[in-house]
């Protein structure tokens, strides 16, 4: 699925800010929510209800602050930064409304076997929050260390270090 271009995002944001056009917002929402939900789901250890709530909180905050967005990064990167903060707040407040059907385990048949995927997900959940966030942003979502620095408010070198530690710990847990 194409996420569109930065120019498309700029046009939609501009139209939304000018007229509060609902169709512009819906287009932005449809373009970015699936990836941000998957990202939040990984950060919140596959607690689907919490991930859904975090994404909704992220959109509320984003809309409130959209007029001040300076386009120094892509809109997706900026939204991911807000999503990280929303996920951190959910984790800090101790939300733990999990039911067995909240776990997202459906994967296409051509991906890794389910038992390996579950082992990786379980191992990822044991990582410290900073390592897990950097691992998901870099190795799962494909962000650069510079983008991760913007999202998490850390230096690119810190991102590299966190990724190194996350990978080392995951290797040890999966062996």
Confidence check: pLDDT of 99 > 90: no
Domain extents for the chain? 1-103, 105-175
pLDDT digits (tens, 9 = 90+) for 65-89: 999 999 988 999 999 999 999 988 8
Tell me the average pLDDT of the chain: 83
Between CA 4 and CA 23 the distance in angstroms is 16
Q: Which CATH architecture has domain 1-103?
A: Orthogonal Bundle (1.10)
Task: Decide: 118 and 105 in contact? Cβ < 8 Å.
Answer: yes
Confidence check: pLDDT of 25 > 90: yes
Between CA 99 and CA 47 the distance in angstroms is 9
pLDDT digits (tens, 9 = 90+) for 117-171: 677 777 888 888 888 889 988 888 888 999 898 888 899 999 999 999 989 988 8
Task: Decide: 83 and 58 in contact? Cβ < 8 Å.
Answer: yes
Question: End-to-end CA distance of the chain, in Å?
Answer: 34
Handedness of CA 60, 64, 151, 141 (dihedral sign): positive
Between CA 58 and CA 85 the distance in angstroms is 8
- Mind giving me the DSSP string for 89-118? HHHHTT-----GGG------TTSS-HHHHH
Between CA 88 and CA 75 the distance in angstroms is 20
Task: Provide CATH code, domain 105-175.
Answer: 1.10.10.10
């Amino acid at each position: 699925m194409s996420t569109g271009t930065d120019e498309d995002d700029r046009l939609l944001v501009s139209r939304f800010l000018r007229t509060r056009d609902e169709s512009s917002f819906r287009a932005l929402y449809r373009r970015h929510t699936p990836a941000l939900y998957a990202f939040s789901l990984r950060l919140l250890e596959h607690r689907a209800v919490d991930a859904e709530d975090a994404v909704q909180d992220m959109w509320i905050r984003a809309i409130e602050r959209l007029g001040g967005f300076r386009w120094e990064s892509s809109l997706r990167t900026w939204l991911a930064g807000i999503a990280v903060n929303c996920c951190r707040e959910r984790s800090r407040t101790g939300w733990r409304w999990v039911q067995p059907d909240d776990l997202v385990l459906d994967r296409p048949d051509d991906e890794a076997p389910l038992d390996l995927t579950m082992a990786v997900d379980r191992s990822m959940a044991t990582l410290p929050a900073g390592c897990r966030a950097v691992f998901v942003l870099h190795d799962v979502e494909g962000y650069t260390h510079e983008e991760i620095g913007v999202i998490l408010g850390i230096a690119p070198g810190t991102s590299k270090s966190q990724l190194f530690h996350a990978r080392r710990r995951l290797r040890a847990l999966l062996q």
